[in-house]
Chains A and B, each alone.
Chain A
Amino acid sequence: SQKIEQNSEALNIQEGKTATLTCNYTNYSPAYLQWYRQDPGRGPVFLLLIRENEKEKRKERLKVTFDTTLKQSLFHITASQPADSATYLCALTSDSWGKLQFGAGTQVVVTP
């Protein structure tokens, strides 16, 4: 069966450090992978999309890598700030249309 796995343990990190999150998937052949941020009780907010032919993508302090051989994506938050505290979700589709499925997410807590 198809699975999207993210580390269920919260990541506690000190302000200014780099947070690295992992997303592993099985039985998918995605052309795209997305990352979202979700705050408690609110809808997810899109952060980054990376295509299968892109090894790395950056947006401000965020960096995403995508390794289709390892079936893994890494999400980095550099120079982390307390405002970065949230749950981060990876998402991908099993086909070209619809069924955008999400991992369970990893909670990040940035302390001053």
Chain B
Amino acid sequence: DSGVTQTPKHLITATGQRVTLRCSPRSGDLSVYWYQQSLDQGLQFLIHYYNGEERAKGNILERFSAQQFPDLHSELNLSSLELGDSALYFCASSFEGADNTEAFFGQGTRLTVV
């Protein structure tokens, strides 16, 4: 158990809908990262938050947004969903930036868009 909790584990929704994925980082970790992993694809970096502030952005679609709340949990919002958004979405946390310390990953949310 990494200590990072993601909910829900599975989500099935229709095209055009909006969903929210939730991540609770390990106790004491200030950084939260979001990644997308499509079938047979690598981990694609989406966004990084540190202590409530956005620190780095990857190729995140405009239809996607995220935030980190004062209690350090984070939410990833995906809207106007398309079939191609079906993927595993991972959240990871680390104490500071993940360059010099390990990142701990949650078990992911599997999103299926039908």
A→B interface (CB under 8 Å): 30-32, 34, 41-46, 49, 51, 89, 92-93, 95-105
Contacts and interface: CB of A to CB of B under 8 A. Distances in A.
Size bracket, chain B contacts = 20 to 34
A98 B51 CA distance: 12
A97 B48 contact: yes
Contacts of A30: 99
Contacts of B45: 99-102
Interface string B29-45: 00101010000011101
A90 B12 CA distance: 31
A46 B102 contact: yes
Given A93-B97, A93-B98, A98 B55 contact: yes
Interface of B: 2, 4, 31, 33, 35, 41-43, 45, 48, 50, 55-58, 88, 90, 92, 97-108, 110
7 nearest A-B residue pairs (beta carbon) = A98-B56, A43-B105, A98-B48, A46-B102, A104-B42, A99-B56, A93-B99
A34 B42 contact: no
A34 B48 contact: no
Contacts of B88: 41
Contact of B99 (A42, A89, A100): A100
Given A43-B2, A97-B50, A31 B99 contact: yes
A98 B97 contact: yes
A102 B44 CA distance: 7
6 contacts: A41-B88, A44-B105, A96-B99, A98-B50, A99-B56, A103-B42
B68 to A, nearest CB: 12
Contact of B104 (A34, A46, A93, A102): A46
